[in-house]
Structure 1
Amino acid sequence: MTVKIGMIGAGGIARHHLKQLQNISLAEVVSVYDVNREGAESMAAIVGARVSDTVDELLNPDVIDAVFICAPQFAREGLEEMASSRGIHLFVEKPLGLELQSVQRKEQAIRESGVIHSVGYCLRYYDTVQQAKEYLKDKTIHLIQAHRFGGSHPAPWWRQQHMSGGHLADAVTHQVDMIRFLAGEYRNVSAMFGHNSIKSVYPDATIADAGAVTFTLQSGAVGTITESCVSHYHSESEIKFFGHDFFVGLSGNGQVLTISDKDQQITVTSRLDPAYEQDKAFVEAVEAGSSDNILCRYADGKNTLAFTLAAHKSAEERGTIEIGD
């Protein structure tokens, strides 16, 4: 069976998914929608897909089996509910939104519909990350240190807090999610955000240029996340997990794994493309009618979003925010 796919959004992330889907034999992209029709036509032409005039037209269960929702997080109102209510399986890019109650309603609608769904936290699909998860499953972590430094997203909307949610919610969310995936759920968070340089680079920006976040996990482990989106001369991401009898490090967004303990000291570099593995797992899940190999579902994405939103609330209120279930 070929899985017929519609795509909402024709920007950079949508084109990245299109590239992966072209290499998946089970996948066939048959329709594209974007508010920018010229962009939709350009992307559709790559694979010979049709251009839909509206979201309602694209979300036709007689035409597509699944949809990739790649619209920006500020432009997704009602999309997941509409797709799931029509029995259309869905892949949704991260972050899931900008307001938790709305995402909670969507998660409930998706869960009750029974459709297969996946969220774009592709780093979970690295074999190195899977190896780290297996190693850490019976270990006691007492400290986690994470950071991500680099440049900004090219889209002007990304620099507006009310449209993107900021660097932590939109990009560093991958590190936030990986900590959850490997070490368990967050208990609380305290954060500070700075605006020292962003105006000199982007005068219209309202997002922070740097953040310093501290947290506690449900396990009792404590940790920090530091980040910058205007570090143009040094880009780096890393997560370190410390135990009294081991060390685990993941650098390069998870591509390079280091494990050190009394029996071993290894460094492994992944050769996988996690975005391809993620999209392949979703397409195969739709074809098989089983979600077993999907590593990030909507509820996972919701919990990761809850942490980033709580971090910004903490900065606004100048206090520690407890993370709810």
Structure 2
Amino acid sequence: MEVGPVKVALIGTGYIAGRHAAALTGLGVEVVGHVGRSGVEEAAARWGGRAYRDTAGLLAGEDVDAAWICVPPDAHGDIEHALIAHGVPFYVEKPIGVDLAVPRRVDAALRASGVIAGAGYYWRGMDVVPGLRSMLAETPPHLVRAAWHGLVPPVPWWRVAAGSGGQVVEQATHLYDIARFLLGEAEVVHAVARHSPLAEHPDLDVATVSAATLAFDSGPLGVFTATCVLHATVDAAVEFHCEGRKLTLTTKFLRREDGDGTHDTPVGRDPLVTADERFLAAVREQDPGLLVCDYADALRTQELCCRVRDVAGTA
């Protein structure tokens, strides 16, 4: 790679692509292109670079050093394989698919090619996570309780299982991933899900509530719940119940509750920015060990979430 700014492209023009574009403005890169079916000209005008309708056009028209894939879950596969064929490292937003077939093929292609690929499990990049890991080593958890209780997102693809994979795969996956990251692998002991019609979303076919019991190989049991029937996201947290204290991680703080009282530590810097910065460092140094999460590990989280969904019997 030539010395100078890393030339990057964003594939997708939705909310999360905008967050990455904003983060990249402070990370010393040159945005050379955007790919999207709508809003692509606006994205190019705002963030720089040229607008393209597909990945093939982008790769034919630009020298791309790294790409961000920010597309709906059902749009994965062809994009990743095109980038791998051109040797372009990529950062793919979670989830990496609606099921396992496409991600497993992508993972095999990555292993064969050696292309660096990161994934958007950016909770791992929170400033407070190393401290949380240390506290869990001091007092190992007996019980993990995690909840993602919120609303139906406004994008139409989310409401359809074939488009999103359902709430566990698309949204609550952050909870399953950070638990895996801190505690290791888990067996799905039991899972159940229910679908209730919602008047505001007549086309919704994903589960509106789910619950799963997990047994982690490291010892603790876990109870994970999710629902999308509320007016807003009121819970997005993982609780670790340890001997003598409770530790709670949210997107805003790490809370420690013990005999000394309650202590909150802000999560600090936006972990999405940290994940982007570390992906760029991995690309520059050709060192996948710098990634917050690599594709192979994201696949293991995808496998866990799909097991929960499959045991429950509905997305």
Tell me by how many angstroms 1:60 deviates: 4.8
Aligned residues: 311
TM-score scaled by structure 2? 0.92
1:284-325 per-residue CA deviation (whole Å, 9 max, x = no partner) reads 2212222232121101111111111111211229xxxxxxxx
C-alpha displacement at 1:277, in angstroms? 1.1
Stretches of structure 2 lacking an aligned partner (at least 5 in a row)? none
Partner letter of residue 96 of structure 1? I
- The answer to whether the Cα contact below 8 Å between 2:76 and 2:102 also exists between their aligned partners in 1 is no
Q: Distance in 1 between matches of 2:137 and 2:84?
A: 34
Q: Among 241, 254, 259, which residue is 1:257 paired with? A: 254
Secondary structure at the residue paired with 2:141? coil
Aligned to 1:11: 14
User: Residues 212 and 308 of structure 2 are in contact (CA less than 8 Å); yes or no, is this contact kept in structure 1?
Assistant: yes
Change (3 A) 1:233 1:101: closer
Alignment of 1:23 with 2:26, yes or no, is: yes
- Structure 2 Cα separation of the partners of residues 75 and 285 of structure 1: 25
- Between the aligned partners of 1:11 and 1:62, the Cα distance in structure 2 is 22
Change in 2 beyond 3 A, CA 1:210/1:184: same
Contact 2:128 2:268 in 1 (8 A): no
- State the alpha-carbon separation in 1 of the partners of residues 129 and 278 from structure 2: 16
The 8 Å contact of residues 150 and 235 in structure 2, kept in 1 or not, is answered as yes
Q: Does 1:2 align with 2:42?
A: no
Alignment partner of 1:279 out of 258, 276, 280: 276
**Following the alignment from structure 2 to structure 1, what is the Cα–Cα distance between the partners of residues 313 and 286?**
44
Match in the other structure for 2:311: 314
TM-score, normalised relative to structure 1: 0.89
Structure 1: gaps of 5 or more residues: 318-325
Give the drift of 1:50: 0.8
Change (3 A) 1:291 1:234: closer
Aligned twin of 2:175: 175
CA contact (8 A) 1:6 1:59 kept: no
Contact 1:5 1:67 in 2 (8 A): yes
Shift, 1:46, TM fit: 0.9
**1:288 alignment partner, one of 251, 261, 285:** 285
Whether contact under 8 Å (2:168, 2:309) holds in the other structure is no
Letter in 2 for 1:131: G
Asked if the contact 1:189–1:311 (Cα under 8 Å) also holds between the matched residues in 2, the reply is: no
Query: Residue 321 of structure 1 corresponds to which residue in structure 2?
Result: none
State the Cα distance separating 1:244 from its structure 2 match: 2.5
**C-alpha distance in structure 2 between counterparts of 1:206 and 1:295, whole Å:** 33
**1:146–1:240 Cα contact (<8 Å) kept:** yes
Give the distance between the partners of 2:61 and 2:219, measured in 1 at CA: 46
The letter for the 2-side match of 1:313 is D
Letter in 2 for 1:55: T
Counterpart residue identity of residue 188, structure 1 = V
Conserved 8 A contact 1:59-1:88:
no
Match of 2:243 in 1: 244
The answer for the alignment partner of 1:267 in structure 2 is 264
Q: Determine what percentage of the aligned residue pairs are the same residue.
A: 32
1:108-257 matches, cutoff 5 A = 108-137=108-137, 139-196=139-196, 198-232=197-231, 235-251=234-250, 253=251, 255-257=252-254
CA positional deviation for 1:263 = 7.8
Secondary structure, counterpart of 1:199 in structure 2: coil
| SS of residue matched to 2:32 | strand
Three-state SS of the structure 1 residue aligned to 2:202 is coil
CA offsets per residue over residues 12-56 of structure 1, 9 Å max, x none?
A: 11111111111212x1110111123xx111101112311124311
Residues 51-110 of structure 1 show CA distances to partners (whole Å, capped at 9, x for unaligned) of 124311213596110111111110122221221222101100100001213211211211
Q: 1:229 and 1:62 mapped to 2: Cα distance?
A: 41
CA distance in 1, matches of 2:61, 2:55: 12
List aligned pairs for 1:95-114, cutoff 5 A. 95-114=95-114
Cα deviation, residue 266, structure 1: 3.5
1:85-144 alpha-carbon deviations (Å, 9 max, x no partner): 221011001000012132112112112211222101111111112221232245432211
* Secondary structure, aligned partner of 1:146: strand
